[in-house]
């Protein structure tokens, strides 16, 4: 069974641009969540989608958005990029992401550098 | 608000010895606690979890202990191996935390051969 696939692996953008990152979950998984990892803030939750609906959202500005398609694939978008958006963006999938400690499976991430 | 704290940024142990990683939390309402391990430039991988109704869960070399009165959990790795060298994160889960893990700052474990 293929794992969580994130594309692209690396991305370089300049301030003010926008970027779209893609995530393909494990087959059969319906929940996709996104995380940002930076050296200063650690791993922070961005949002979670299930059946094309956002169920949970972290404390990030509106420049960060996402969506999920009917095949459970997900994209996240960051508009008007800032230097501080440079980070490793991780996607995770799970079957349904219940509240009962269901484990998440993470992709290898997209390393975004904003110059 | 920091719901989870891992107060030891790093830990260094000798191969074959025990590694003990600690995590403190603030909210008593969590149903589960999970530990993840992360290598550089990779996503975290699930290691072990514990339900809030238990005080211990064991899986091979890994054991997690939960002390609800102290709001503290710890991960024991025995015996430690060089391949265990990674960053370890704890996270609570429960309530409406769909897909949301609230990671602590992590503890860098280094196991020396």
Element (H, E) at A10: strand A10-13
Contact with chain B for residue A48, Cβ under 8 A: yes
Under the banding of pLDDT at 50, 70 and 90, the label for residue A49 is very high
**Gap between the Cα atoms of B99 and A66, Å rounded:** 14
- Using DSSP, state whether A112 is helix, strand or coil: strand
Residue B71's region, left for phi above 0, alpha for psi from -120 to 50, else beta, is: left
Smallest CA–CA distance, residue B113 to chain A, in Å, is 27
Of the candidates B53, B54, B48, B57, the one whose C-alpha atom is nearest the C-alpha of residue B88 is: B48
Residue B70's region, left for phi above 0, alpha for psi from -120 to 50, else beta, is: alpha
CB A89 within 8 A of CB A112: yes
Average pLDDT over all residues of chain A: 92
Of the candidates B10, B5, B9, B21, the one whose C-alpha atom is nearest the C-alpha of residue B78 is: B21
- From chain B, the residues in CB contact with A98 under 8 A are 98
Compute the count of residue pairs across chains A and B with CB atoms less than 8 Å apart.
85
**Gap between the Cα atoms of A83 and A19, Å rounded:** 13
CB B89 within 8 A of CB B44: yes
Q: Bridge partners of A91?
A: A34
The pLDDT, as a whole number, for residue B28 is 78
- From chain A, the residues in CB contact with B93 under 8 A are 99-102
Q: Which residue in chain B has the smallest CA separation from A41? A: B105
CB B28 within 8 A of CB B36: no
- From chain B, the residues in CB contact with A35 under 8 A are 101
User: Do the Cβ atoms of B98 and A58 come within 8 Å?
Assistant: no
CB A83 within 8 A of CB A75: no
User: Do the Cβ atoms of A50 and B106 come within 8 Å?
Assistant: no
User: What are the average pLDDT values for consecutive 10-residue runs of chain B, which has 113 residues?
Assistant: 83 97 88 90 91 94 95 96 96 76 90 96
The pLDDT, as a whole number, for residue B2 is 63
Contact with chain B for residue A56, Cβ under 8 A: yes
Of the candidates B74, B22, B70, the one whose C-alpha atom is nearest the C-alpha of residue B50 is: B74
User: Do the Cβ atoms of B49 and A101 come within 8 Å?
Assistant: yes
Q: pLDDT (tens digit, 9 = 90+) per residue, A54-110?
A: 988 999 999 999 999 999 999 999 999 999 999 999 999 988 766 566 788 999 999
DSSP classification of residue B84: G
Smallest CA–CA distance, residue B39 to chain A, in Å, is 10
């Amino acid at each position: 069974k293929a794992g969580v696939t994130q594309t692209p692996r690396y991305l370089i953008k300049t301030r003010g641009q926008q970027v779209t990152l893609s995530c393909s979950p494990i087959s059969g998984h319906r929940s996709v969540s996104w995380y940002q990892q930076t050296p200063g803030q650690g791993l922070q939750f961005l949002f979670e989608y299930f059946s094309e609906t956002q169920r949970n959202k972290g404390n990030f500005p509106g420049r960060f958005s996402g969506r999920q398609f009917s095949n459970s694939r997900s994209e996240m978008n960051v508009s008007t990029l800032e230097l501080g958006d440079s980070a490793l963006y991780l996607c995770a999938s799970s079957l349904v992401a219940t509240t009962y400690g269901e484990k998440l499976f993470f992709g290898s991430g997209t390393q975004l550098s904003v110059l | 608000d920091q719901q989870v704290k891992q107060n030891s940024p790093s830990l260094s142990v000798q191969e074959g010895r025990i590694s003990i990683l600690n995590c403190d939390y603030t909210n008593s309402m969590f149903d589960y606690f999970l530990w993840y391990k992360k290598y550089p430039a990779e996503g975290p991988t699930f290691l072990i979890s514990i339900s809030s109704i238990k005080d211990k869960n064991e899986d091979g070399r890994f054991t997690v202990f939960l002390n609800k009165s102290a709001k503290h959990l710890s991960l024991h790795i025995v015996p430690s191996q060089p391949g265990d060298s990674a960053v370890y994160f704890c996270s609570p889960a429960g309530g409406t935390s769909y897909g949301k893990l609230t990671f602590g700052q992590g503890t860098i474990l280094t196991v020396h051969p």
